[in-house]
Structure 1
Amino acid sequence: MFCSPQLCCLWNVVTINAFLDQGMSSLSVYGPPSPGIRFTKSPANLTVTQGNSARLGCAVEGLSEPEIAWMKDGEKLYSTDQMYITLEAQHWETFHSMKSVQQQDAGKYWCEVEFHGMSISSEPAWITVEGVPHFVLEPQDVATFPALPFNLTCAAVGPPEPVEVLWWVGGQQKGNAQPSPSVLRVSGVNESVKFYCEAKNARGLSVSRTGTVHIKVLPEAPQDVQVLQVLESNITLVWVPGFNGHSDLNTCTIQKSGRKVQLPVWREMVPPYQKVIGGLDCYSNYSVRVQCDNEVGSSPFSPWVGFQTPESVPLVAPKNLTFDLTEQQLSLSWATLKEEELRGRLQAYKIQWDQGGVSQDELLFKENVARLSGGGRFFNATFQVSACTVVGCGPWSQPVLVMPASVLHRSTQRGHMWVGLLLGLLVATMLGLLLTVLVHRRNKETQFGSAFKPPGDESSVSFTAARSFNRQGQDPTESTLDSLGINDDLKTKLQDVLIPERLLTLGHMLGKGEFGSVREAFLKIEDSSVQKVAVKVLKTDITSSSDIEQCLKEAAYMKDFHHPNVIQLIGVSLHRRPQQRLPIPMVILPFMKHGDLHTFLLMSRLGDEPFMLSLQTLVQFMLDIAQGMEYLSSKNIIHRDLAARNCMLNENMTVCVADFGLSKKIYSGDYYRQGSVSKLPVKWIALESLADNVYTTQSDVWSFGVTMWEIMARGQTPYPGVENSEIYEYLIRGERLKQPPDCRDDIYEIIHSCWSPVPKCRPTFQRLIEQLEGIQASLSPAPNKEPLLYVNLNAEDSDQGAVASGPEEPSWGVPWQCVGMEEDEKDWLMIASGAARAIGGDYRYIIGPPSGGIDEDGRQVSEMLEGIPEDVKEEDEDFIINV
């Protein structure tokens, strides 16, 4: 039988359902057969490029109003925009659409309908997502000892396969690409470094999270030490460990002090971070402190924490209960208890007594004396006394029998005689021993103590001092600016911001660079409060006065800065080094809670918990930097190192321009010429600065354009795939940074205007502020969006062999023109703009080799490659995205 594909398909469906009616095997292996209900269309297998759209469809016949559910890997998919299409009576079709397919969308899909408690399923289909590699194992942070070897592991998968891994450690490539998974053996490091891996396949390149190799150090002191569950004789002590020094804590030491003595020390395995301390006295004051150990050593102790144990009943009974009996009254007295015997606050003394074996009412007295009227009635009575606190009363004293004095005198007279004889004998014995010692020991008193000469032939003197003297010298004098060997003008500028080193307490390191480090610190101020600050410390191996002077010049610039978008100087301190002629200068700056802008942008995209940054926020970042730079330019300051890494974010998410190590003040003219050789940020430097070492406010505008590009690219490195040594040739051809994904055309137009090869054609910072404020005013609240992908994929359907095209370039005509240009400058711009359009592409991300497609202007791709050298075509044509 001959039929069209559509008729054949329908015939197959009818035939299969006929088998179902006869009890044969079901069309669906997932649901039981149901007469009259069948899926006439099941979803088809799809292979989709990451970022492209996909649609699955299925159709069911036999139900009047079916509820068709889409399933993925056994889980029901919930959609608010599912639509049903009526094909004919009791015949319905529905679709499941995905606008931008991601790796997590890969899996098995099918449709289900419910009928009388039974689930009827369609045939399943699989979606395979092709795109840049997906990391299944990213490199994790490493903690190690200096120079000790360790391994780093990274694994990524496609599709497509194969996937190769390339390692970057400390900003440098390590070895060549290796098949995934990859294990990198590192021989050892001596300081903390960053590392990451890149995974590449035929679709592109992905960058893993950035890990850190930490050097193990001593832990910090425990924090938040608290005493819980204070009982009579024990407490529960808890604490929070401080920074562990990148090494697990194994034990903690608890010290306890009492009234006058240092009490035992306990060493506890941790976690948990708590200790039950027993054997305590009631109603006593104690103090405890804690230190913790890792494999490097012990942390400092935490501050002492005091506590008082609760009251209890007295420990002993009052002693020396005596009485004085007259006909008018009975007086009782007893000794007061010592504080450690009382174990609380005395409330009263309780007296119990009985007469003739009959107990009488108990009596309470505030003092240790009781006076009872009518002495005769207490004859032959027995008395006991007890001390009472708020908790209760202690033990009773020995009973005392009240009798007249004459009777007591006769009964005790004989006992007193024997006591007198024994005391006389004891006194005589002690006097004899004392005389013997005085005869054998000559005593000489001096003005300062006692010197004794023992018997024997040899003369020796032992000396007991009558007074002790403290001969400890004064604290070392504070370092001054005079000890640095810097010029007088710089000393004068910094004299009023010099802060004594004793007021600073340095904490852990926040960052490290070529010339020093930045550390967290605490600064004591005049009202005895403490301010958290950041301290830039010059490297300890720098011994030259010129290097120290260069560091302090940055502080001198900052001393005069007063603007919310420019970091302000708090002060300068000098660290005295033993056996060194020159102290180390320390520049004290405000502590910035969110760190540098570049790291913040990277963490928003590549951190462990990525977060969305709205366009309003990104534009505000740019506006903050522009306002800070406009302020600096008004002060005739050229920054020369403007980049996202040198902009800081405070607790209010306000950006402050920082790091003025390369800044220069213009005293005459409007430019500065670099005379000495120094390390410079090549990818942020203007074209004329690379060519002639000339720096102006307009060259800072160029750097600001690169910084804006960093912000819109969420921290991506500029000119990916272009080496530092190739930047000048790259720019002179008219090449510039490409428009980042999700960057609006009007924003990129502002960015692009900063890169005119003619400096006077670049906008001023004041003009940039006006333009950014205009964009900010036009922005409405941005809807929530998924985090940006760190890829550059623009192909609609790579399976059809089409060449992916980049963002459509705004039609600016000949870019970078301005009023007052010379004719030769205009000619140069025409050539440069043509060159800029002749070669495109981002060498960092790989889509696939060009296939001879046609670009927007109708030119063949092969023709566009004619200007590229043959060796470049052969080596790099797989790296060209958009040509």
Structure 2
Amino acid sequence: MGIYLWMILFLLHNANRVEGLKFTKNPANLTVTQGNMARLGCAVEGLIEPEIMWMKDGEKLYSMDQMYITIDTHHWETYHSVKSVQQQDAGKYWCEVEHHGTVISSEPAWITVEGVPHFTLEPQDIATFPGAPFNLTCEAIGPPDPVQVLWWLGGVQEGDFRPSPSVLMVEGVNDSIKFYCEAKNARGISVSRTGTVYIKVPPDSPTNIHLDQMSDNVTLMWSPGFTGYSDLSTCTIQMSKNSGTKMKLPELQVTVPPFQHTFGGLSSHSNYSFRIRCGNEVGSSPFSPWVDFQTPEAVPSAAPKNLTFQLTEQQLSLNWAALNDEELNGRLLAYKVQWNIGGESQEPLLFKENFAHLSGGARFFNATFQVSACTVVGCGPLSMPVLIMPISAVQAQSARGHMWVGLLFGLLVATILGLLLIVLVHRRSKESQFGSAFKSSGMESVVSFTAARSFNRQGLEFPEHTLDSLGINDDLKTKLQDVLIPERLLTLGHMLGKGEFGSVREAFLKMEDSSVQKVAVKVLKTDINSSSDIEQCLKEAAYMKDFHHPNVIQLIGVSLHRRPQQRLPIPMVILPFMKHGDLHTFLLMSRLGDEPFTLSLQTLVQFMLDVARGMEYLGSKNIIHRDLAARNCMLNENMTVCVADFGLSKKIYTGDYYRQGSVSKLPVKWIALESLADNVYTTQSDVWAFGVTMWEIMARGQTPYPGVENSEVYEYLIKGERLKQPPDCPDDIYEIMHSCWSPVPKCRPSFQQLVAQLEGLCTELSPAATKEQLLYVNLEDDDDRELDSGLGATANTPGTYEPQWGVPWQCTDMEDIEKDWLVVSSGAALAIGGDYRYIIGPCGSTDRESRQSEDGRSEDIRDDEDVIINV
């Protein structure tokens, strides 16, 4: 009872002490301008030496210079000071005192910092697809309020100030661009961090590829390369085994992360090679270099076979077949020979070779021998046991075995002969000159007949088509006598390419001297409906017949493919086989193939020069190509470009063609403005297509006008827009291709001028003249980027490109009506006045041009003008 009373008195005493403890001064709310001083005070009464703790937003504030001021014996005051208030000092403050485990707190106060806005949500880097819309967000607060936000995108102001928070909706960009926002209030303006909009691209090859051997499994690990601003989803592992010859194993596709994969079931002591590529939502990276790996040794998996012996009085000789590498699973250490005699195991013997000679042959009589192969890891399984006996015993045993085999064989032969005799006795058939007849069937004699030869009563096969059987005119027949090749001399192979209008096949042509030549055959689809269609194809072949130039593909001949149940054949064009295929595919493979390779600037310019020379030659023959593009240029074994597909191919590539209304499919991204409008083609329109082909070469096979639909190309060009300068393209090369796209045809260079310009560039790029320099790009500052091409910039300021014309496509000796069609500023205004469609000839008129008639065929207006090959 006394104890309980004492506890109650103690609690009452403490309660009185806490009850007397109180704050006589609480901190007051402060609104402070950023950079000024702030001071908060607290006073507590009831303790002799109190420990007063300052709190901010629930956290203790530690200060080395906190001072206490004595007001009275049990009354104390303290202050918390901030010399230069910043935004992070804003918050809720109070004081706390602890006494005997009990904490009492003062009333709270707030420090509010006035100044320029501070950002609670700054712009973050984002990655997006080219042309895809996206949103940017920025938020800033005061005080003082209100706060307004202004956006800057690519150095250009976007609209005006708008209330915070602000969301900027961007319709899309095609290149990486930087952005930031400004926040403004009554105190001033704050600038956010600079963010970057990255364009998602395929990733780079994986790096740091290594393997880890764990017991029977091998773990392949790698590090991802540059991810292309997009998360990697899968990686493809290619594996090959080197067993004398390199053998590719099936590809493995693994989900990442983690960036590793464990293999099981690999052969021991074998050489493997691995390479990896990874993909994101845009595409796949190139493969990494091959990484070689050899698995550790293991115990042999098989026993030696064909263990034989020879026994004499002097020695016992043993022989067995050596194991191959796959069975050995390592390097052979020795062959272990185990033997026992009389049921007792003897000491095993080790031999380096696959034979053994043991002296004292008589001591091994009735002994049993087995052999196994051993590596550094251990020994493999034992062979079948062999019992050692003298040669006489073996021969006797063998003779008894042979006797029984002979008896059984003789009995089997006698049985078969008996069965055959029974069948022959019961068979009463007779043989006629033409087959067998009169076989019994039940009670009646039924006559049957099996013909020894068969005859076709439908007549002979259709005769091969000739020029006489097609009904074409005599002049054309005379020109084609040495061009038409009988179909029987062609053996078609596998398909090289296929499109809407036909296919290209590998073939072998039998020559007059019985030799065989490898060729390419273009087989047109079955859209031949009349003799005039065939005559038109053969007429175009007659034009090609006389082409002899190293940069123009040589026509070997034309053949006519017979069709079952059809009167008219299908024309087949026979051309030389080009080892490296078409130029467009070759350029794509250099950039996107499984094993990409680098094409030097000198090589690319040489490609352009080859095409220009071929087109100059065709122009001298009054031939208009109408479909010049990288896909219609071929690469022979010497890496020389040959112009091909001038009309006769019927445009078998379909992806680059666009059907405009009822007009036939056209390669709109390669066609000149005047040709798109009126389907009128001249040498100048071929020059336009050559400029686009130059762009393809510099862009390594990219599709022209990326992001512009075929149906939008005409409107895009009429506004003055043109193909943009490809990355790494020197200014002087872009200037040449840009000059090919003048809206006024007479202002475009001739192929003769283009050849001269490109020959000059080739001379500058020759190894004796200069070395191609590396390209350095300053990723930190786009404005100061320097592109060193090795060709020399044409602008006055290094790293900037200024065309050499004052007005785009300016040329001398122009009439006013032609000047009306010059664009005021690229991509800015529509053309001014006039109708450009009729400014198509070198003299600015249309009455001397070859026009397209209503039925789609070409009509030669003047004999001395360019020949247009109908496509």
TM-score normalised over the length of structure 2: 0.49
TM-score normalised over the length of structure 1: 0.48
**Structure index of larger Rg:** 2
